[in-house]
Structure 1
Amino acid sequence: MDLAFLHPLYEHPGPWASVYVDTSRQTEDTGHERRLTAQAMAGQLADQGADQETCRAVQGAIEDLRRSSDPHGRALFARDGEIVLDAALVRPPQGGDWAEWASLPRVAPLLDLAGEDPLCVVAYIDRKGADFELRNALGSQEAGVVSGRQWPVHRTSTGGWSERHFQLRVENTWEHNAAEIADALAVCQEETGADLLILVGEQRERRAVHERLPKRLLGRAVEAPHGAGSRLLDEDVERIRAEHVREQTETELNRFRAARTPDGEGRAGAVEGVPALVEAAREHRIDELLVRVDGPDAHQEVWIGEDPSRLAVRRTDLQAFGEQHAWPARADDALIRCAVATDAPALAVSAQEVPVGGLGALLRWK
């Protein structure tokens, strides 16, 4: 997950209000329920020591969600009476709505609730062209239309000496249209940065387009087994998206497993455990952060300074580095702040044997 969107959260010191709101339930009483949620979240923050201005800002932002059609939820981050970041979630927060007031924004849940959401171009293909649709967990939108040659596109028995000539013209039309669709798909993928291309249509038409895609896109293209009119197509798309996430995660975990073995110079390319990660973060060596949100190390307390790279396992260690101010923070949130500062991505992992404790990192040495 690219963490660049979190930069605004680290441009000012804390403390911070972090609020996760479930908007997946839509009823006739949604407006009233949102108002009750807004009051409850503001009350929780006030009980934890948040200032009145920030509580009011959070309450107002949640009340505004009564008009929202978000299918899953929102994460709100506020300080000094201002909502600094309002992030859409791709799945509802576990356990429902909750709020926290702490020295750092509570961003680690975003890795699971807002990350790894593959963007897809769904291409509805027929012999005359294709319609493109962009899809992710938050919905869909039209992404273009390709109109190929319109005649001849159907094989028919014409009779007489011209039948073979006619059939060849049909084949040529199909091939031309498939090439046009493939070219347009390549442009659409480049412009949108889509992770996947999902081809929908008759098998021969899907295959004709698939075979004409540029080599760089062949690993991103998948043919859906059901057509546009099938009620199973949505399930196909979600299955393909989930498989893509699993494959990407497994690839990174395999990299992590391999990198734990020291090289010829005795340097490992991966570390796990809070002390080793804190040291790597101080030295700006985290290349990719791996986080299991429910891992036992995630909520371990560390100490942070004003600079993201100023962190330590013990407060006295931070003082020894010359830091005048120190605040306690969760290890996962402190390490994510360091990753944001050095433009390192983060990956949410599920119940795996690695990293031990739930926190790990691939390292950079140059």
Structure 2
Amino acid sequence: MRLDFIRSLYEERGPFASVYMPTNRITKAVAVMVGLRWRHISEGLAEAGAPDEVIARIGEFVGDPAPGRAVFCSSSGVIFSEPLAAGPEWDIARWSALPHVMPLLAQRGERVPYMQVVVDHLGADVIVLSGGERRELVVQAEDWPIHKPAQGGRSQPRYERDVEETWRRNAVATAEVIAKEAVQSEAELIVLGGDPKSRHMVLDRLGRDVAQRVVVAENGGRSPGEMPKSYLRKVDEALRSWLVQRQNELVDAYRNGPAVSGLHETARALRVSQVAKVLVAEGPSYEEMVWIGPEGPQFSPDREEMCAWGVADPINERADAALARAVATTDAELWFVPELDSPEGVGAILRF
């Protein structure tokens, strides 16, 4: 994933309060629990040295309708916050030189830009999901004639041709919208469901590049107001398959090189903007401490190395926090993979 969405965090000077907390008080019992956990979090921040005004600003999110929230705040105010899909199992509260973003990145995962498309002879329902935004479109070029009559007669062939021409025009319109939106959203996947004949007509009219991104959902028809459940199950399956394939491709690229292994070598490559993608094995807790400087890519497990790079007074900080900052500020990408043959479960695919 690209970390552009948190880059603003590193335009501020720390220290930062990083908090992961439950927020939704949907029942009286849950409200009591959320209040108790917030008190524990606020006391921990105070003991760590966070100013009262920082704690108060974070406290304003208690009662948020989301199940939980990640909040990053400095003395200048809340710099970034994001609702969590599920409340955190345990509270995280840090007052430190760098924001502690890795738990957010791990839960967020890779947000694949993709499209949901369900078609019939009338047109299509299209949903585009990209960059954290969702857009819904309805495609329909013509709505008559749409059904072939059962009775015969002299006009039967002409009427059937008119119906098929309506189908064709709607398929053309749908294919044009799919192609345009796929380019604009940089969609990696297009899950195409609906009427079988309409699917084939649309597929036949897509360019090769776009057609290669299509996954066909055999089940599901157009339903006013919502996508069919059978179709949405296929969407989830397609997204999981895409992610597994992408992770495998990245691990293969890491093995074949050019690449570096381990936290120390990855840090060195990041400092010279040599890294295209950082790979992090899922599961391990990166509580190892490293030394950081004031600039984004400045970190190393070796304090003397930081001093040699011109950092007069290196600061001790969590390795995962330093790694995330370096990735965000060097235009690299961060990917979580199930396993990685590397010391500390960290490695990097190099640009050169």
Same fold (TM over 0.5): yes
Write the mapping of 1:1-366 to structure 2, written as runs, cut at 5 A. Answer: 1-22=1-22, 26-27=26-27, 31-60=31-60, 62-63=61-62, 66-68=63-65, 70=66, 73-80=68-75, 82-89=77-84, 91-92=85-86, 95-135=89-129, 142-228=135-221, 230-259=228-257, 269-295=258-284, 298-350=286-338, 352-365=339-352
1:111 is paired with a residue whose SS is helix
Relative to 1, partners in 2 of residues 1:73 and 1:67: Cα closer, same or farther, differing over 3 Å? closer
Q: CA deviation at 1:330?
A: 1.9
1:268-327 C-alpha deviation (Å, 9 max, x unpaired)? x1011122112212222111111225336x332210011223322222322233311211
Q: CA deviation at 1:338?
A: 1.4
Letter in 1 for 2:14: G
Relative to 1, partners in 2 of residues 1:219 and 1:101: Cα closer, same or farther, differing over 3 Å? farther
Q: CA deviation at 1:33?
A: 4.5
Q: Which runs of 5+ in 2 are unaligned?
A: none
After TM superposition, the runs of 4+ consecutive aligned structure 1 residues lying more than 6 A away are: none
1:24/1:92 contact within 8 Å kept = no
Relative to 1, partners in 2 of residues 1:57 and 1:293: Cα closer, same or farther, differing over 3 Å? farther
In 2: Cα distance, 1:24 partner to 1:204 partner: 46
Relative to 1, partners in 2 of residues 1:239 and 1:21: Cα closer, same or farther, differing over 3 Å? farther
1:2/1:344 contact within 8 Å kept = yes
In 2: Cα distance, 1:216 partner to 1:309 partner: 36
Identical amino acids, percent of aligned pairs: 29
1:148-204 C-alpha deviation (Å, 9 max, x unpaired)? 222222222331233233323222221221111110122233344433222221222
In 2: Cα distance, 1:16 partner to 1:316 partner: 25
1:23/1:92 contact within 8 Å kept = no
1:6-41 C-alpha deviation (Å, 9 max, x unpaired)? 221111222211112346885465555544443332
In 1: Cα distance, 2:130 partner to 2:23 partner: 17
1:38/1:58 contact within 8 Å kept = no
1:122/1:132 contact within 8 Å kept = yes
2:102/2:321 contact within 8 Å kept = yes
1:109 is paired with a residue whose SS is helix
1:50 is paired with a residue whose SS is coil
Q: CA deviation at 1:353?
A: 3.8
In 1: Cα distance, 2:269 partner to 2:232 partner: 43
In 1: Cα distance, 2:37 partner to 2:118 partner: 41
In 2: Cα distance, 1:273 partner to 1:147 partner: 54
- CA root-mean-square deviation: 2.6
2:264/2:301 contact within 8 Å kept = yes
State the TM-score, normalizing by the size of structure 1: 0.85
Relative to 1, partners in 2 of residues 1:313 and 1:98: Cα closer, same or farther, differing over 3 Å? closer
1:56 is paired with a residue whose SS is helix
Q: Which runs of 5+ in 1 are unaligned?
A: 260-268
Q: CA deviation at 1:343?
A: 0.8
In 2: Cα distance, 1:126 partner to 1:314 partner: 62
